[in-house]
Structures are given as structure tokens and as C-alpha cells.
């Protein structure tokens, strides 16, 4: 059993990612919050702690005695990476053993602008390590690619997870295909991500890998479309995009998957939705959805849900 601090732990992704760890009762977990908590956590193993991420000294004092720090910041809202950099330096000063920056998505250097701060922090940690300034603190970039759950929208198996339609829209039986549709992509159910994170937190004897890829299943856009047709039936509308258009920020399609998320102001959702699909198709083209498999190799007996298994279950009986 170790003490774990979670920054951004009240957010939607963190709440789902921590479910297995909390249910296990193996660790004492403290969720850091910027505002005072209004009620206790339902688990006796979880507490809340109000912190000021701009106060490096106070943050360091709070982190004394913690073994592991997990960050779930919404990185594009962390201006100049001040909060996460302070969290890193406070963790080092407090003698924290393991640190996971806010990743939980596709591979580094994806070209997705809202993920630029993830790349900055990954580079920053590598620079600190090269300079010998981590003082023995390990770090790991947890990268499960994209949650399979999004393709079950609006019926993800984890109903508390905020989802929206992606470029293969199972609900409305339509899809966008980039070029020949053969680009490899990795999808991982957030339930599997939560289980792997719990295993990694329990595994205190072995150092974490610097890059912690998690491959639920490896597929491509064409296979995902065919899976949609198999599961949902009916007539599908398929539109093809050219990567040269996407590179210019142009999406020649009759529809754009609308993104609705609490961090996106209502008046900006249409523009953000277009930018999002452009950036994600660029990331697919560059291979950023094809994450590595370090945690699959570390836990070879773990059985991941395939896209077919997950989506068949999610869409069973749905209109």
C-alpha cells in the first residue's frame, strides 16, 4: 500500500480511470482540488485536499510522504504549464517516487494543438532527467490512445464518461474515411485503462517505463467502418477525405462530429469541432494513434476488450 496524490482528480477522465484502484482499496488516495471540497468521498480510502498550484512551497509541504503523483490536468487550460511544472518540482522536492504527467491519450508529438502542453511537459521531464534533476523520481507517460467508448456514443459502457461522436458515427450510421482508410489506429476501453493503471500502481517493485503505451486493440478506419455495418446494420453514408486537404485544414464532408464538453464554451463548439477533426485526422496520418505496447508486454496475461466485443455489447438493443 502506498499514498497516491491525484491532481485534477475530480475531472471526468480521472474519475473513470481511478475506479479500479479505488475499488481495490490497496492504496490511500488524496485528490487535490483547487476549491474546498463540499462533501467527503464515498470511499474511506479517498480524501480531498485543497491546494494552490501557484504556491510551490505549500505544494511541496503537502506532497511530503506521498509515493506516487498522478496528473489529470486539462492541459490546454494550464497556461504556460505553470500548475504542472510546479507539481513536478514539488514532487521532486518532496521525495515522490513516481510521477505520471497528464497524458492519457495518443502518442507524443501528435500535432493536435490542444495537446501541445503534453509534448512540452514530456520534453521538460526528459530535460530534467538528462540534467540529473529528478533526484530518482520515475515518470511514465501513460498513452492508451483513444477510448473505444467514444465509438459507443451516446451509450458508453461507462455511463459517467463524457463522450461525443467521432468520425465513425455508429449512432447515425455514417463515417469519414481518410485516403485509403488503412492507417493503423489503437483503441482502448477506459475500463481496461483503469485496470492497467491499477496494476501499474500496485507494481511498486519494477520501475515504470518512460513511455507506457496501452493497446486495447489495433485496427484501422476501414475495419472500424465494417464493424459498424456489422453491428448496426442499415444503410451507411461513407465520405472520403484526402490527406492533402486535411493538411490545409480543409474537411470536405457534409457533416462534422459535434463536440460537447464542459471545458469548451458553447459559442466555440462548432469551430472547435472542426479544428478537432482536422487535428485528429492529421494525428492518424502521422501515426500518433498507433501507440506502443509497453504495458501489454508488462502484463501479458491481461485480456483486453476488442473493439468488436466492446461495441457489440454497447450497441445491443439500441435504436
The pLDDT profile of the chain, 319 residues, written as one tens digit per residue, is: 999 999 999 999 999 999 999 999 999 999 999 998 888 999 999 999 999 999 999 999 999 999 999 999 999 999 999 999 999 999 999 999 999 999 999 999 998 988 999 999 999 999 999 999 999 999 999 999 999 999 999 999 999 999 999 999 999 999 999 999 999 999 999 999 999 999 999 999 999 999 999 999 999 999 999 999 999 999 999 999 999 999 999 999 999 999 988 888 888 999 999 999 999 999 999 999 999 999 999 999 999 999 999 999 999 999 9
Same domain, 163 and 311: yes
Same domain, 171 and 226: yes
Same domain, 83 and 150: no
Task: Tell whether 250 is covered by a domain.
Answer: yes
pLDDT of 266 reads 83
Same domain, 165 and 98: no
Task: Tell whether 200 is covered by a domain.
Answer: no
Which residue(s) pair with 28 in the sheet? 3
The domain in which residue 237 lies consists of 146-188+217-289+305-315
Among 84, 252, 115, smallest CA distance to 179 is for 252
* Distance in angstroms (rounded) separating the CA atoms of residues 229 and 101: 38
Among 100, 310, 302, smallest CA distance to 199 is for 302
Task: Tell whether 225 is covered by a domain.
Answer: yes
- Of 139, 156, 180, the position where a domain reaches its end is 139
The set of long-range contacts for 74-78, using a CB threshold of 8 Å and a minimum separation of 24, is 74/8, 74/11, 74/102, 74/263, 75/102, 75/114, 75/115, 75/117, 75/118, 75/121, 76/113, 76/114, 76/115, 76/116, 76/117, 77/263, 78/117
b/e burial code for range 283-318 (CB count within 10 A of at least 16 → b):
bbbbebbbbbebbbebeeeeebbbbeebbeebbeee
Mark residue 289 as left, alpha or beta (left: phi above 0; alpha: psi -120 to 50; beta: remaining): alpha
Task: Tell whether 204 is covered by a domain.
Answer: no
Same domain, 33 and 171: no
Is residue 89 within 8 A of residue 101, CB to CB? The reply is no
Same domain, 238 and 94: no
CATH value at residue 13: 3.40.50.720
Instruction: List strands edge to edge, sheet with 98-100.
Output: 46-50, 28-33, 3-7, 68-71, 98-100, 138-139
How do beta strands 168-169 and 68-71 pair? unpaired
Among 29, 316, 24, smallest CA distance to 194 is for 24
Same domain, 106 and 167: no
Task: Tell whether 32 is covered by a domain.
Answer: yes
Among 299, 303, 201, 182, smallest CA distance to 243 is for 182
Coil vs helix vs strand at 242: coil
Q: pTM for the full model?
A: 0.96
Structural domains counted in the chain = 2
Same domain, 250 and 174: yes
pLDDT of 189 reads 99
CATH value at residue 163: 3.90.25
pLDDT of 316 reads 98
Same domain, 130 and 183: no
Same domain, 125 and 223: no
Same domain, 94 and 13: yes
Same domain, 23 and 164: no
Amino acid at each position: 500500500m502506498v499514498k497516491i496524490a491525484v491532481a485534477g482528480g475530480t475531472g471526468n477522465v480521472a474519475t473513470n480511470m481511478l475506479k479500479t484502484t479505488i475499488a481495490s482499496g490497496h492504496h490511500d488516495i488524496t485528490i487535490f482540488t483547487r476549491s474546498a471540497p463540499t462533501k467527503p468521498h464515498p470511499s474511506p480510502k479517498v480524501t480531498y485536499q485543497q491546494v494552490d498550484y501557484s504556491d510551490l512551497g505549500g505544494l511541496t509541504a503537502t506532497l511530503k510522504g506521498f509515493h506516487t503523483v498522478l496528473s489529470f490536468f486539462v492541459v490546454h487550460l494550464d497556461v504556460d504549464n505553470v500548475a504542472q511544472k510546479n507539481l513536478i518540482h514539488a514532487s521532486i522536492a518532496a521525495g515522490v517516487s513516481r510521477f505520471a504527467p497528464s497524458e492519457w491519450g495518443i502518442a507524443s508529438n501528435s500535432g493536435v494543438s490542444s495537446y501541445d502542453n503534453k509534448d512540452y511537459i514530456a520534453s521538460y521531464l526528459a530535460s530534467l532527467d538528462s540534467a540529473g534533476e529528478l533526484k530518482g523520481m520515475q515518470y511514465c507517460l501513460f498513452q492508451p490512445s483513444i477510448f473505444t467508448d467514444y465509438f459507443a456514443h451516446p451509450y458508453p459502457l461507462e455511463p459517467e464518461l463524457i463522450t461525443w461522436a467521432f468520425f465513425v458515427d455508429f449512432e447515425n450510421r455514417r463515417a469519414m474515411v481518410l485516403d485509403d482508410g488503412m492507417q493503423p489506429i489503437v483503441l482502448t476501453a477506459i475500463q481496461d485503462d483503469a485496470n492497467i493503471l491499477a496494476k501499474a500502481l500496485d507494481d511498486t517493485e519494477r520501475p515504470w517505463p518512460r513511455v507506457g503505451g496501452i493497446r486495447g486493440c489495433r485496427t484501422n478506419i476501414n475495419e472500424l467502418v465494417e464493424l459498424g455495418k456489422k453491428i448496426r446494420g442499415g444503410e451507411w453514408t461513407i465520405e472520403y477525405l484526402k490527406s492533402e486537404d486535411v493538411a490545409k485544414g480543409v474537411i470536405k464532408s457534409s457533416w462534422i462530429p459535434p463536440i460537447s464538453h464542459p471545458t469548451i464554451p458553447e459559442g466555440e463548439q462548432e469551430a472547435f469541432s472542426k479544428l478537432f477533426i482536422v487535428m485528429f485526422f492529421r494525428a492518424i496520418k502521422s501515426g500518433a494513434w498507433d501507440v506502443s505496447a509497453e504495458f501489454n508486454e508488462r502484463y501479458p496475461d491481461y485480456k483486453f476488450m476488442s473493439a468488436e466485443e466492446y461495441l457489440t455489447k454497447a450497441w445491443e438493443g439500441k435504436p
